[in-house]
A and B are shown apart, each in its own frame.
Chain A
Amino acid sequence: MAATAAGKSTIREEIKVGRTNTPAFAWPTVVLALVLLATFAASVWLALRGSISYLASACINGVVIYSIYTVVHEAVHNNISSHRHDLRWVDSVLGHMSCFLLWQFMDHHRESHLEHHKHTNEDSDPDINARATLAGYLFVRLPVALLNYFNPYVLYQECKRFDVPRDGIRRTFIAFGLNTAVLAGLLVAGYGYEVLVLWFIPWWIGQSIMLTLFTWSPHHDHWETGRYRNSRISEFPGANWLLLGQGYHLIHHMMPAVPWYRYKRTFDQLRPILRDNGVRIEGLQPMDPGTYRSEPVQQGAAR
């Protein structure tokens, strides 16, 4: 049982604070989704008609792709409709639309992501491939993971591994087929270069940055488990905007119903309690594990 040095569990108090920061409906996320989708469409359209350069469009699209995972992530947790259970379709619609650009699939990703929450930093964590040095992650594991996005066999195996319900597997492969059909259609129509420059290169860069800041950085070095230690707080000037709140990733893991734009406020309100519970409050760069852990963890050691 997690507890402060005084021996008292603070989970109820944390949940209460989280609840006060959970809106009935997350309008800012809807706005974010619509702005990003419209920006992507406008950027491609302007590039195709020659109003902006392909390079400018590619940069804009990279930012969109980096940012739009936040919409997918919120949708996976039903955090857009939040308390409005009758509006779950909003999460579904915005989530699927955003997933399209990312070549991700809502039903598969929901189960994978919830598994990540339940087994954060354990060997069975779907994101455990980020247990690597930054260079090892960026240049080896991340590229392999990105290439696997396009492998339907890997997708199916993961659906089975994460117990995606039958309907979810069906929707996953309908979405995969739709993505593939759109891509094939564009290639056949002679837009191969545009697909590469305006979608896939921005996708590769945007996804790499997003996954590094969303997966590698918050959980580094991917050995610690438990409510207060499986993620860290990363504070530095401008972090909240640049990371769309993910500097406070620990807050998300502790209270997944809190939306991204309320992480900081929730953390500020809980800061003393979290400090007492031994939370890692650091900067952009994760601290060396030796500075916060007395004993090094051995690869393959019992957790």
Chain B
Amino acid sequence: MITVRYIEPDLTERVVQVQPGQTLMQAAVNNRVRGIVAECGGACMCATCHVYVEESHVDRLKAVDATEDEMLEAVESERQDNSRLSCQIKATPEIDGIVVRIAPVQV
């Protein structure tokens, strides 16, 4: 299992054990982590699972592709260099211990 630390919008920290292969969005929804809306269910088409990835983990993730980049332009909270859509981050051993801060406004 991969350990993921979510920081909810009210700064509550939630530690979730995620199955490899599951996305951070799916794991958040399944574990009732607050702040992720995920309107489209993981199709990278709604920009409502926006998270800020802790800087030390950013380079361990697959690069943002064109579709995610396009959708990140439509996020409601400010887009930052470490902004990602959590539906595009799959749990792998490389990101064990990752910390993601959930963007305060999704919709």
Contacts and interface: CB of A to CB of B under 8 A. Distances in A.
Interface of A: 1-2, 9, 11-12, 15, 19, 22, 76-79, 85, 114, 117-118, 163-167, 227, 253-257
B39 interface: yes
A117 B70 contact: no
B42 A255 contact: no
Given A11-B71, A19-B107, A114-B41, 11 more contacts: A12-B74, A78-B41, A85-B32, A118-B43, A163-B90, A165-B22, A166-B19, A166-B21, A256-B46, A257-B40, A257-B46
Contact of B44 (A22, A76, A118): A118
A257 B74 contact: no
Interface in B24-50: 26, 29, 32, 39-47
A165 B27 CA distance: 11
Interface string B1-27: 000000000000000000111100010
Interface string B90-102: 1000000000000
B81 interface: no
| Chain B, interface SS category | loop
Which of B44, B45, B47 has the largest count of A CB atoms less than 10 A from its CB? B45
A76 B42 CA distance: 10
Interface residues of B, number: 24
Contact of B43 (A9, A11, A117, A167): A117
7 contacts: A19-B39, A117-B45, A166-B21, A255-B45, A256-B39, A256-B46, A257-B40
B44 A85 contact: no
Contacts of B73: 1, 9, 11
B19 A167 contact: yes
Nearest to B40: A256
Interface in B74-94: 74, 90
Given A1-B73, A85-B29, A164-B21, A254 B41 contact: no
Given A11-B73, A19-B107, A163-B90, A77 B21 contact: no
Contact of A256 (B19, B32, B43, B107): B43
Given A19-B107, A165-B19, A166-B19, A77 B43 contact: yes
